[in-house]
Structure 1
Amino acid sequence: MPSMENEGSEVSRAEEIKNQANEAFKAHRYGQAIDLYTQAIELNSQNAVYWANRSLAHTKLEEYGSAIQDATKAIEVDPKYSKGYYRRGAAYLAMGKFKEALKDFQQVKRICPNDPDATKKLKECEKAVMKLKFEEAISVPESERRSVADSIDYRTIKVEPQYLGAKIEGDVVTLDFVKKMMDDFKNQKCLHKRYAFQIVLQMREMLQALPSLVDINVPDGSLLTVCGDVHGQFYDLINIFELNGLPSEENPYLFNGDFVDRGSFSVEVILTLFAFKCMCPSAIYLARGNHESKSMNKIYGFEGEVRSKLSETFVELFAEVFCYLPLAHVINQKVFVVHGGLFSVDGVKLSDIRAIDRFCEPPEEGLMCELLWSDPQPYPGRGPSKRGVGLSFGADVTRRFLQDNNLDLVVRSHEVKDEGYEIEHDGKLITVFSAPNYCDQMGNKGAFIRFEAPDLKPNIVTFSAVPHPDVKPMAYANNFLRMFQ
């Protein structure tokens, strides 16, 4: 019968496309792999493997919402397919949803009782959930919490005579100090805790005084450079400064969030950026990203790295200071710069962003959450977020927001791009990402944008990754997450 024949050829064609998708996946071309798995699914939607494979490709692109949807579909197609539960559990974990992940790994164990890998992951997941319950049990209510900064007096910390690293003389962070500190970091030397405390405490005071939306004024003939995610890639940060000059009053930068996590030199990155801000507040502007939060830092490495290189007190101190970071910037009343994106409702004014009480961990919904988590989409309107947090928004949403606020352009970061940047929404939205060869495996370029006043035309500069010492990304990440790398 022709229809049977036709069906058979579609099934075998789907299998061919799936094999091509697997090749693209192996080459770290995850976007291409997703497109190919999608074609295979369109030809044969009853194959759980295609859904589970596409779920894994979404996970690699940090699209955990889509990964969970696909893994759930794989489970619907074949409720006994252990990989469906496995993939969904891994995506839940990546979002910090340990309790949901635990249920999926328990199911994997039921289906594969003798699989040592499933047993190991289930044990780790149980440990993570127990730890979470313990932390919840001993946590102090927000209203009673005291600032950890109040308990620190860095002046009483002795600097041993054998310490030969960078030193701050008195209260002033100088350019000489910052250069020496960066050189020490390049050679994998640590900064003395006294000076690290001094920088972070000074930073806290400075950030506390800022509004949630900061206006930046760039005089005519002057430049401002906007950088996207750096994600703990210290040696690439140094390269940006070599290509574009050190931050100064004449050469200011705006770093648009996600300074830490994933890359294993996050402490070096954050202390460098903070030190430049202490040295000259108008030399550098810093915005909060979704990774400047406790829940992300717990999973993706910053917390472990701070504990290893500094101390437990610093873990608390950084968490507090991250809550003081502004949420967005406006350049010359024309360019809106934010880490994630726009909103689930129309009519949001800059005054609404200014009015956000940002001194907290990011909530799971509302304006603050959307600023940190949302992503653009190629079609109009709004849709669910592929990340499972925030939303996706189209060109019409961008256009209305710009019109409502008399702005020309949205610049955001938050997403890895092959060329380091992408221009979307009829030229009204630019994504910039400044961590090249992200996590040592994506092969992408990095980029930064130079805006010159008065016309503020974006001049995009791309660059490639530079070598770094042999410390793998995620070296300090949650033990459990490292199992999935």
Structure 2
Amino acid sequence: MDANANSDVQKAEELKLKANDAFKANKFSQAIELYSQAIELNSTNAVYWANRAFAHAKLEEYGSAVQDATQAIEIDPRYSKGYYRRGAAYLAMGKIKEALKDFQQVKKICPNDPDATRKLKECEKAVQKIRFEEAISVGDAERRSVADSIDYHIIEVESQYAGPRNDGEEITLDFVKAMLDEFKKQKCIHKRYAYQIVLNTLELLRSMPSLIDVNVPNGGHFTVCGDVHGQYFDLLNIFELNGLPSEENPYLFNGDFVDRGSFSVEVILTLFAFKCLYPKAMYLARGNHESKSMNKIYGFEGEVRSKLGEKFVELFAEVFCWLPLAHVINKKVFVVHGGLFSVDGVKLSDIRSIDRFCEPPEEGLMCELLWSDPQPQLGRGPSKRGVALSFGADVTKKFLQDNDLDLVVRSHEVKDEGYEIEHDGKLITVFSAPNYCDQMGNKGAFIRFTSPELKPDIVTFSAVPHPDVKPMAYANNFLRMFQ
């Protein structure tokens, strides 16, 4: 090996060590940058690719993680960590059958590794469960509404129940405030009231189009929040900083209310209760985590089962299918959870006419609204997540021009400051779960718009303490093994 090549290998190794330190400090973007520099100097070291795959996975960039792990496997087909990393990324994407193949490889390469054996067993169980569920599931056309089979009026509230009560047909502000306090003490409300909130919300959502026009009168303001992800105590902090929702203080929560954080039931019942109280002042959009496949993996399903019971699992899945997909404020600001499209020329009327009552499809407009991300380069590229696409400033500009809009606001991605302004100021990402998953150290943010200017006023905030329940506490046992 000549001296130059030798020094490159050495430099690459030094960069890897720095990257490992950044990774340990939860600075995953920095780690990716350093691993990338190491790969540029020495692209034949499988460890660098597998490590970068792990860092991508930490940022939920599972598509990129699969690509990097695949590269590690191509360099060294006997490198068990390559299969392991790829299997874990497939798992996080809900591609359990692909994950199973990779864990079988790990076991083949390391037959005596007890950890590999345990994970393979869990994976096999998960695949069996999925096959069983597929076998007994009915098609959408034959599926009966769960909601239609529930009458909450006939549910008795026992005399020994000490929580808040709500005896009328309408949800009251006093009841909601009492409920918020109950949740703070880690207690749940009676199932009768949980049913009442969820069923009333369903009725409201059923009558709405897939794209909602929001009208903010002159002098009025409107607050947009990003992902909350089951971080109930941070949600209360938003209300502390910005006031409770009311007719004079309207909010839009832009998807990903649940999963990961272990107070998702409290978050969703709070948002739905305010929707019942103020249908015209609490707007809710669907995120990619308001879906069965995500809820199965990332904790919401397990949490609902534990706190409310099996029937609510089906009920929430039904209600999530009725959540609108996008909002337009005063015909100027387009708000969506994920992002824009793989084709030009999409009009607001196309979004309005999407038949949204389904689990999110794997391609098409609805998938892209929930899953896409912006990219710094122009044009369109593959998604880091392995679903939908990445889109550049030119795509944003054209969409705004085509629809006579000024700004895109979206969520869906953790940002260090709680927000990021991109695409020549025409696109803002807002994320409202500070110190995401108790480990990212990021701030949260929300955006206040005042009519008529609708200039975005961004407020950032830090995480507040919460009871000692870890994120993903109710997640699929199997996924927790990889966290």
Instruction: Please say whether Structure 1 and Structure 2 have the same fold, judged by a TM-score greater than 0.5.
Output: yes
Task: Write the mapping of 1:44-123 to structure 2, written as runs, cut at 5 A.
Answer: 44-123=42-121
Give 1:188's aligned amino acid.
Answer: Q
CA deviations on 1:13-47 (whole Å, 9 max, x unpaired) are 00000000000000000000000000000000000
The equivalent of 1:483 in structure 2 is 481
- 5+ residue gaps in structure 1? none
Please state how far the C-alpha of 1:381 moved relative to its aligned partner.
0.2
TM-score in terms of structure 2 length: 1.00
**Which of residues 14, 18, 21 in structure 1 aligns to 2:19?**
21
Q: What's 2:279 paired with?
A: 281
Structure 1 residue ranges, 4+ long, deviating more than 2 angstroms after superposition = none
The alignment partner of 2:420 has SS state of strand
2:164 to 151, 163, 166: 166
Partner letter of residue 279 of structure 2? P
SS in 1 for 2:262: coil
Give the Cα separation in 1 of the matches to 2:223 and 2:280. 12
Identify the residue that residue 330 of structure 2 maps to in structure 1.
332
Q: Superposition pairs for residues 8-407 of structure 1, below 5 Å? A: 8-407=6-405
- Offset at 1:162? 1.1
C-alpha distance in structure 2 between counterparts of 1:128 and 1:66, whole Å:
24
| Letter paired with 2:27 | R
Distance in structure 1 (CA, Å) of the matches to 2:166 and 2:251: 23
Structure 2 unaligned blocks of 5 or more? none
Q: Which moved more, 1:60-69 or 1:164-173?
A: 164-173
- Matching residue's letter, 1:146: R
Residue correspondences, number: 483
1:143 shift after superposition: 1.0
Secondary structure of the equivalent of 2:280? Answer: helix
Q: Which residue, 451, 458, 466 being the options, matches 1:453?
A: 451
Deviations along 1:67-121, one digit per CA (max 9) or x if unpaired, are 0000000000100000000000000000110000000000000000000000000
SS at match of 2:141: helix
Instruction: Report if aligned partners of 1:225, 1:254 keep a CA contact under 8 Å in 2.
Output: yes
Q: Secondary structure at the match of 1:457?
A: coil
1:346-404: CA deviations, max 9, x gaps? 00000000010000000000000000000000010000000000100000000000000
- Name the CA distance, whole Å, in 2 between partners of 1:247 and 1:83: 48
Deviation at 1:185, TM superposition (A): 0.1
Percent identical: 82
Preserved CA contact (<8 Å) 1:54 1:70: yes
Give the equivalent residue in structure 2 for 1:422. 420
In 2: Cα distance, 1:400 partner to 1:283 partner: 31
Shift of 1:169: 2.1
**Pairwise CA RMSD:** 0.5
Structure 2: distance between partners of 1:86 and 1:105: 6
CA distance in 2, matches of 1:282, 1:138: 40
Residue type at the aligned position of 2:474: Y
SS in 2 for 1:282: coil
1:14–1:41 contact (8 Å) kept in structure 2: yes
> 8 Å contact 1:248–1:282 — kept in the other structure?
no
Using the alignment, how far apart are the partners of 2:2 and 2:166 within structure 1? 78
Question: Secondary structure of 2:328's match?
Answer: strand
Residues 262 and 474, structure 1, Cα contact 8 Å, conserved in 2: yes
Contact 1:292 1:322 in 2 (8 A): yes
Task: Look up the match of 1:432.
Answer: 430
Which whole-Å CA distance do the structure 2 matches of 1:141 and 1:371 have between them?
A: 24
